[in-house]
Amino acid sequence: MDRTVVLITGCSSGIGLHLALRLASDPSQSFKVYATLRDLRAQGPLWEAARARGCPPGSLETLQLDVRDADSVAAARARVTEGRVDVLVCNAGRGLLGPLEVHTAGAVGSVLDVNVTGTVRTLQAFLPDMKRRRSGRILVTGSMGGLMGLPFNAVYCASKFAIEGLCESLAVLLPPFGVHVSLIECGPVRTAFLEKQEGVPGGALDGADAETRVLFSCYQRHLERIFREAAQDPEEVTEVFLAALRAPRPALRYFSTESFLPLAHLRLADPSGCSYVAAMHRAVFADEPAEEETASDRGDPGLCAPPGAPQ
């Protein structure tokens, strides 16, 4: 029986590493996993964990793949000995935290290059063969930051909003080719993602005004509380990927947690955006639970109010 060939980007740590291990060690032994890394010098933890999990021989291989480099992506594709990829997992990503005005052009470009252009490069490399074979699954690591704007994550959210549009557009187009696209929408996950972000504020924060620095401190406390109380383990998230991979009729979106869905629904319930802005502002900067209320309900002159109906 032919095994399902899976190629995953961004496997040096976090979700990518754990998903590669989960599939390679699956009791069905039905997966051949190509775990790709930008720098193969970082593959040690993956192989150490694979030995600990008892991954069968031949179930896991590592490849160098840098989504920022089209030649690197093409070289990785050429090294897939089966000559096909049945499931492509676009997981490589990068964050950028802090006030927008202190980000360097290089940091902004790096995040957009990895998160958006890098995903496009990867899809361009593997999608044509899937369409020719009229078979394939594409799983993309999404984020709550692609469904709603988060303070001090403007560029990261912009990149993830772009991924939502990219995947939704492809999901409409590709079913006649037998290719299905699914986003795995993740909330906070206990990985090294935060530590690996571009532009983690240090001295650069000095370039922001005093009030913004105070608000950023509030946001940091909020983020710490969210990760302490609501963050998921990567193993839990990988099961959502597996469910999407195995679904007979895969959905466009799967959610690793329902904790942020009320806010996502709030964005849709009030198209003006005012209800969401008021609720998120209160949740982050007053550190109170977000409730379905509008700025006009709270009488906050600093936040927007929905426009009145036309007369």
Q: What is the mean pLDDT of each run of 10 residues along the chain (311 residues)?
A: 93 95 95 97 95 95 98 98 97 94 94 98 98 98 96 97 98 98 94 64 74 92 88 93 96 94 92 94 75 45 59 41
Residue 303 lies in a domain: no
CA distance readout (Å), 92 to 8, 55, 116: 8, 23, 10
What is the tally of structural domains in the chain?
1
Task: Say if residues 150 and 276 touch (Cβ distance below 8 Å).
Answer: no
What pTM value is reported for the model? Answer: 0.90
Asked if residue 299 is part of any domain, the answer here is: no
Contact 59, 33 (CB under 8 A): yes
Structure confidence at residue 57 (pLDDT): 94
**Which residues are known binding-site members for substrate?**
143
275 located within any domain: no
Tokens of 149: 């704007």
Query: What radius of gyration do the chain's Cα atoms show?
Result: 21
**Annotated binding-site members:** 10-38, 66, 143, 160
Domain of residue 155: give its range: 4-209+231-260
- Cα–Cα dist 82/232, whole Å: 34
117 in a structural domain? yes
Coil, strand or helix at 90? strand
Give domain status of residue 159, yes or no. yes
Active site residue 276: no
Q: Is residue 273 part of a domain?
A: no
Structure tokens at 169: 């557009």
∠ CA(10), CA(31), CA(237), 5° rounding?
A: 50
Any idea what the CATH number is for the domain that residue 131 is in? 3.40.50.720
Residue 295 is predicted with a pLDDT of 41
In a domain, 306, yes or no: no
Q: Is residue 300 part of a domain?
A: no
The alpha carbon dihedral of 210, 213, 218, 219 has a sign of positive
Three-state SS string across 300-311, please?
CCCCCCCCCCCC
Phi then psi for 19, rounded to 5 degrees? -70, -40
Map tokens 């089966």 to a residue: 82
